[in-house]
């Protein structure tokens, strides 16, 4: 009986082992945004293709990611939305218990720019009514894969050139890949410099879905 129990825990430990790498966690966060080629994952995670492939191999061995062929490219995706939920839960637990992480996060967003204490459902209602503009500043392919309802796609690298497209006098709520992503922070800083009322939403698509809220694709 003890041998059986040991095997059960060993199987669960495979998931823990696969997640016990900062870079593999970052790859999971990137895959929460949608299916990606290994070359794109390597670039966005700041590593070589060879190293990214090695990390993805570990995630695949733990059945956390799946692959498919697209011509000469291998595309990776999360095995299920449950993997995204696991990442959100793990990150939230770390934020709750690790003071070091709390301090690091507090320095990411300028004071007053974080959208706090606002009911997410009220954001949806106000966005649907045109009372607030929800801005998705991730790359366009990530927006196409999944995005918040009523959100408008405007990648952060194009924001400066396309500011004239944004309506004046409407508050802007910008989001990207989640609390660790810096694109929304940069977008809010730029918008505020140009006179817009702008706020940073720490949720990404994975966090939004984990709250039981709808996403669109």
Residue numbers annotated as active site: 176
Distance CA 123, CA 129 (A): 10
SS3 37: strand
**How many Å apart are CA 112 and CA 100, to the nearest integer?**
21
What 79-83 contacts at long range (C-beta under 8 Å, 24+ apart), as own/partner pairs, is 81/209, 83/28, 83/31
Q: Which DSSP symbol is given to 133?
A: E
**Helix (H/G/I), strand (E/B), else coil: 106:** helix
| CA–CA separation, 81 and 112 (whole Å) | 32
- Cβ atoms of 75 and 203 within 8 Å: the answer is no
Neighbours of 172 (CB within 10 A): 21
Q: Would you say 66 and 76 are in contact if contact means Cβ atoms under 8 Å apart?
A: yes
């Amino acid at each position: 009986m003890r041998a059986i129990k040991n095997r059960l825990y060993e199987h669960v430990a495979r998931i823990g082992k696969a997640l016990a790498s900062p870079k593999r966690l970052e790859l999971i966060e990137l895959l929460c945004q949608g299916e990606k080629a290994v070359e794109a994952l390597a670039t966005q995670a700041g590593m070589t293709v060879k190293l990214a492939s090695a990390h993805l191999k570990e995630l695949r061995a733990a059945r956390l990611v799946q692959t498919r062929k697209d011509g000469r490219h291998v595309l990776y995706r999360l095995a299920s939305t449950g993997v995204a939920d696991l990442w959100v839960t793990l990150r939230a637990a770390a934020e709750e218990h690790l003071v070091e992480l709390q301090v690091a996060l507090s320095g990411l967003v300028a004071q007053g720019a974080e959208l706090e204490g606002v009911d997410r459902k009220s954001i949806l209602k106000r966005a649907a009514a045109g009372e607030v503009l929800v801005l998705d500043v991730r790359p366009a392919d990530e927006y196409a894969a999944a995005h918040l309802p009523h959100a408008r796609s405007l990648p952060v690298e194009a924001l400066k050139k396309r500011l004239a497209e944004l309506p004046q006098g409407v508050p802007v709520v910008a989001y990207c890949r989640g609390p660790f992503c810096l694109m929304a922070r940069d977008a809010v800083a730029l918008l505020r410099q140009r006179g817009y009322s702008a706020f940073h939403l720490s949720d990404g698509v994975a966090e939004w879905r984990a709250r039981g809220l709808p996403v669109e694709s």
